[in-house]
Amino acid sequence: METIIFLRHGQAEDDDGSGDAARPLTGKGVRQAEVAGRALHSLGLIPDLCISSPRTRAIETARGACKALGLEPVIDDGLGVGDFDAKGLVAGLGCVLLVGHEPSFSAEVARLTGGSVRLRKGGIAVVRGSRLEMLAGPDLLALAN
């Protein structure tokens, strides 16, 4: 049974005119990413693979989280924005960390589990099968470090 870990990107800078896709993380966002990776490691939630949205803030979040997990993120255009099929994306891959955006992540968690969630920046949701096993914001994740 696949485990999908949804990690919403950390806090990002405002658009400086370069476009939404190019927005980098703030210092706080960088820390949120690193905290998420260390928390996942501490909790024994070590993914086999990390797949990230191609947007700058998601890639930076994935790289920051993956430091503690010994992974290199793979970029997938399907996680940019809008609806996607998480189960189809991770089929046969075991435990996968997806790094992306709202509202698509919360919508996908709801579709998979029937639960109503809202992922905070730097927060995670862990879905195993059709069960929501964990939902944590960045403040709670910091306690696991």
Residue 71's domain is classified under what CATH number? 3.40.50.1240
Overall domain count for the chain: 1
What is the Cα gyration radius of the chain?
A: 14
- Terminal-to-terminal C-alpha distance of the chain: 27
The one-letter amino acid code at 11 reads Q
- pTM beyond 0.75: the answer is yes
* Rounded distance between C-alpha atoms, residue 57 and residue 145, angstroms: 23
The 124-128 sheet, strands edge to edge: 74-75, 49-52, 95-100, 3-8, 124-128, 131-136
pLDDT in tens, the chain (145 residues): 789 999 999 999 999 999 999 999 999 999 999 999 999 999 999 999 999 999 999 999 999 999 999 999 999 998 877 889 999 999 999 999 999 999 999 999 999 999 999 999 999 999 999 999 999 999 988 888 7
Domain that holds residue 100: 3-143
Reading the block at residue 63, the tokens are 């790289």
